[in-house]
Structure 1
Amino acid sequence: MKKLNSGYEMPVLGLGTWTLTGQTCEDAVYAALKSGYRLIDTAKYYGNEKEVGSAIARAIKDGICTREEIFVTTKLVPWSRSPNADIDDSLQKLGLSYIDLVLLHQHGSDSGDDAVYLAMIRAAKDGKIRSIGISNFYPEKNVSHFINDFEIPPAVIQNENHLKYQNNSLRDWAAKKGIYIESYYPFGGRGHTAEHLKNPQVLEIAKKHNKTAAQIIVRWHLQAGYIAIPGSRNLSHIAENFDVWDFQLTDSEMKELTKLNTGKRYENW
């Protein structure tokens, strides 16, 4: 768990639901909760908040977890004309009385970003949101705006982050501000996963620990200080990605994986 600057605790490993829809999404979230996950990540843009909420309700009904144990994240688009209504809509679709973390999904326009962020602050004061943050903001100067110019700073920055793009400078800078970096695309994202899972260094380390390449990469994220949200629709992979608590990478292994950094992102949003 990470203690956020909002005072709440956030699990360090969760399920990302980007591209998951319908029953596939609901089944994946339910399976994740059954496997031990307590962090679930969605967004209005994904169009699957209702399915995420249904899975959470089913898991609670089945005694797998309680609402208090689950940390739910959603995101608001910067071009929203009614962010207050969007927050209420997310609460309704998720079937929740509060959302643990709401992020500004990406940079839009300066005025649009500010309007959404201010709506998130109002919702936090009203108890609808517990923590707020931003996503897809990489330069420190852009992040500084939300730290310096608003009453409530971000608790989390969710960015593309993986072995090939580590952005350690932002991680270290944000940590001094009490802000954690959350990695989406921890395996490189769709179209690049094989490149990461078949990396010779990763496979060699996996062999030493009798673990899979995916488990080695997840473990690297956690030991490097990140929060990670690998996504999958494969129920066995979902369970596999969470089975990372019984081993640790050595300092030399961590350094070896850190050397894979190229400093280049795959996406451009």
Structure 2
Amino acid sequence: MKKSILFFGVFMAACFGALSAETFGQTVKLNSGYEMPVAGLGTWTLTGKTCENAVYSALKTGVRLIDTAKYYGNEADVGRALKRAVADGICSRSEIFVTTKIVPWSVDPAADIENSLEKLGLEYIDLCLLHQHGSGDDNVYSAMQEACREGKIRSIGISNFYTAQEIEHFINNFEIKPAVVQNENHIFYQGTELRDWCKKYGIYIESYYPFGGRGHTRQSLGNPVVLQIAAAHNKTAAQVIVRWHVQSGFIAIPGSSNLLHIAENFNIWDFELSADEMKEISNLNKNVRYENW
């Protein structure tokens, strides 16, 4: 056990050295006026103590963006981690950016929002997303918009919408336009055209599955181009990919329960990819998605 603790301490020191607190605060300003961190932790498939410990460790590492969803069934676990981190003086509530999502088949989205607030133990949600397409899209978005007016949510957005026409519906038919579109996005499905279209509305694309998602991470992390670039910077493939997302103007939320990987994925602030390296990775795009929701 002592060796494990020592190794973790050495690893963390190697990862972060003397990096300042400001290094952890790289953000973008959303069209809602609020700042959002550009790199965080996704919690899909994490539950119970595993989820709680992953979120707590991420916050201790310096991560300030935590992504969850009602559908994940782990909002209470995330909430316990947030409470612990604040109580332990790791961060304040105002420093944490929490995202959750409401499914389109919600019978009572207003009640679901209240339930999410209760489970998370928060007075407000930083970003609430319509989780995906469904028959209740407008009902859920209307409820999020109303909760935004009431101060229960600060920013709203959508997830799993991949065309300008789909996103325009929410821009044209609601008073509050989306601040974020969270989509599958990785080196083999780069979404750059949609990113460029969204820019004119101040909408940011947030990448879930930044390594391709479970079952596909080896294809990304083992890619020869990525590995060559990683070697040149004395970084890992994962760090190069997260750095590519951030430099490309995306927000990235890699998921992991491995405390070392969480720290590794966030240690991307002390290097920069060159224009040629960015182009090399851009050339890997195949417009291939792995999910169909």
Report the TM-score range of the alignment, normalised by the length of the smaller protein: over 0.9
Matched, 1:88 2:101: no
Structure 1 ranges of 4+ moved more than 2 A: none
Aligned match of 1:186 = 210
Instruction: Report the counterpart of residue 156 of structure 1 in structure 2.
Output: 180
Deviation at 1:107, TM superposition (A): 0.3
The alignment status of 1:224 with 2:248, answered yes or no, reads yes
The amino acid across from 1:37 in the alignment is V
**Residues 80-119 of structure 1 mapped to structure 2, 5 A cutoff:** 80-109=106-135, 112-119=136-143
Q: What is the aligned-residue identity percentage? A: 72
SS of aligned partner of 2:107: coil
1:57 aligns with 83
Q: Which residue of 2 aligns with 1:208?
A: 232
* 2-structure distance, mates of 1:128, 1:244: 32
Deviation at 1:176, TM superposition (A): 1.0
Shift of 1:167: 1.4
Match of 1:3 among 18, 25, 29: 29
Q: 1:171 is matched with which residue: 176, 195, 215?
A: 195
The answer for unaligned runs of 5 or more in structure 1 is none
Partner of 2:16: none
> In structure 1, what is the Cα distance between the partners aligned to 2:56 and 2:90?
9
Cα distance in 2 between the residues matched to 1:196 and 1:263: 14
Q: Which structure 2 residues correspond to residues 29-44 of structure 1 after superposition, within 5 A?
A: 29-44=55-70
Give deviations 1:106-137, integer Å, cap 9, x for gaps. 0012xx10000000000000000000000000
Alpha-carbon RMSD: 0.4
Partner AA of 1:118 in structure 2: S
Counterpart for residue 13 of structure 2:
none
Residue 72 (structure 1) aligned with residue 121 (structure 2)? no
Residue 208 of structure 1 and its aligned partner are, at CA, apart by 0.3
The residue aligned with 1:141 is 165
**What residue number does 1:258 align with?**
282
1:191 alignment partner, SS class? coil
Q: For residues 159-210 of structure 1, give each alpha carbon's deviation from its aligned partner in whole angstroms, at most 9, with x where no partner exists.
A: 0000000111100000111100000000000000011000000000000000
2:24: which partner in 1?
Answer: none
Paired position in structure 1 for 2:48: 22
Secondary structure of the corresponding residue to residue 214 of structure 2: coil
Structure 1: distance between partners of 2:191 and 2:245: 12
Kindly provide the amino acid, as one letter, of the partner of residue 238 in structure 2.
A
Aligned length: 267
Instruction: Give the Cα separation in 2 of the matches to 1:213 and 1:152.
Output: 38
What's the counterpart of residue 128 of structure 1? Answer: 152
Output the TM-score relative to the length of structure 1: 0.99
> What CA distance in whole angstroms lies between the structure 2 residues aligned with 1:234 and 1:167?
28
Cα distance in structure 1, aligned partners of 2:277 and 2:193: 20
Distance 2:288 2:221 in 1: 18
Cα distance in 2 for partners of 1:142, 1:61 equals 42
TM-score (norm 2): 0.91
